[in-house]
Amino acid sequence: MAKITIGKAINAGLRRAMERDPKVVVMGEDIGKLGGVFRVTENLQKDFGEDRIIDTPLAESGIVGTAIGMALRGYRPVVEIQFDGFVYPAFSQITCQVAKMHARSLGKIRLPMVIRIPVGGGIGAVEHHSESNEAYFAHTAGLRVVACSNPEDAYWMIQQAVESDDPIIFYEPKRRYHEKGELDLTATAAPRPLFTATIARPGEQVTLASYGPMLKVCLQAAAAAAEEGKSVEVIDLRSLSPLDLDALATSVEKTGRLVVAHEASTFLGMGAEIAAAIQQRCFHHLESPVIRVGGYNLPYPPSRLEEEFLPDLDRVLDGVDRALAY
């Protein structure tokens, strides 16, 4: 086992995918010699060449459009969107072409491509660098959406995404890129399927579901709650479309309570869909309403105010307390 950061784990996963399949290419702004603004693709161009690690112009619509053409010709492109807020110029390409090509062709055409997006706030960045736009793409039929939260998942999930014949939006927690975890780089098989949730911490009284950058906060909240005698089970959703509702329902049927936490606004966020689905599925098991904890329904604020905007330990614990109050 090695101690490795999430950023290095994604790099290692991309390297392994490229070694395995010569049709895998990576495209994006400054990903070659620079290695990306977060250095996730560092040294890959040196080892695989400029034909497979492609520095692109600053034109997200053109990057994704080119990747669509390459996927149609048999390649497996991996697109890096430099920051989450930069994906909007490519929104039409993703929602009108990437998501619909398979259905439009009556199943004859597939687009095996991955669109990597660093997501969330907490890095003191300027405007358009701290979005949480996962609900847009999870809402769009024809796309798969996943979010890693630790090095092991980052390493395996990027490989699984590259191997998938479906187009996948791959969210990476930018404020967690440099956090380390244990990873066995010699393992030959992923520990779990791509589109499944996992229990990050077992518990008995409340289910706390999250994903990506918020998972660490939820684990901290569960540890703090345990000091007060409260048992919180933390679920890492990992996949946002499709949702692993079976795993989530199993946990809620045990605990009787659910809190969903994410950085995005609670209004029409992922928590809204999860709350509706679990209320419908687990109605007779619920001891309290499903509680949502998230960002405010506001544009992401300037960096000096982001700690007031992002859900923190206290706001998650307040959600747990509200669930237990019934």
Catalytic residues: 129
Residue among 132, 120, 239, 238 at smallest CA distance from 175: 120
| Whether the bond into 57 is cis, omega within 30 of 0 | no
Q: What are the residues facing 183 on neighbouring strands?
A: 2
Residue among 227, 208, 210 at smallest CA distance from 319: 208
Strand 144-147 to 114-119 pairing? unpaired
Structure tokens at 193: 């399927």
In angstroms, the CA 5 to CA 148 distance is 12
147, 212 contact by CB (below 8 A): yes
181, 1 contact by CB (below 8 A): no
In angstroms, the CA 293 to CA 312 distance is 9
CB atoms under 10 Å from CB of 255, counted, come to 21
In angstroms, the CA 118 to CA 112 distance is 20
In angstroms, the CA 189 to CA 214 distance is 27
In angstroms, the CA 206 to CA 210 distance is 13
202, 181 contact by CB (below 8 A): no
311, 214 contact by CB (below 8 A): yes
Cα–Cα distances (Å) from 128 to 125, 131, 212, 286, in that order, read: 8, 6, 19, 38
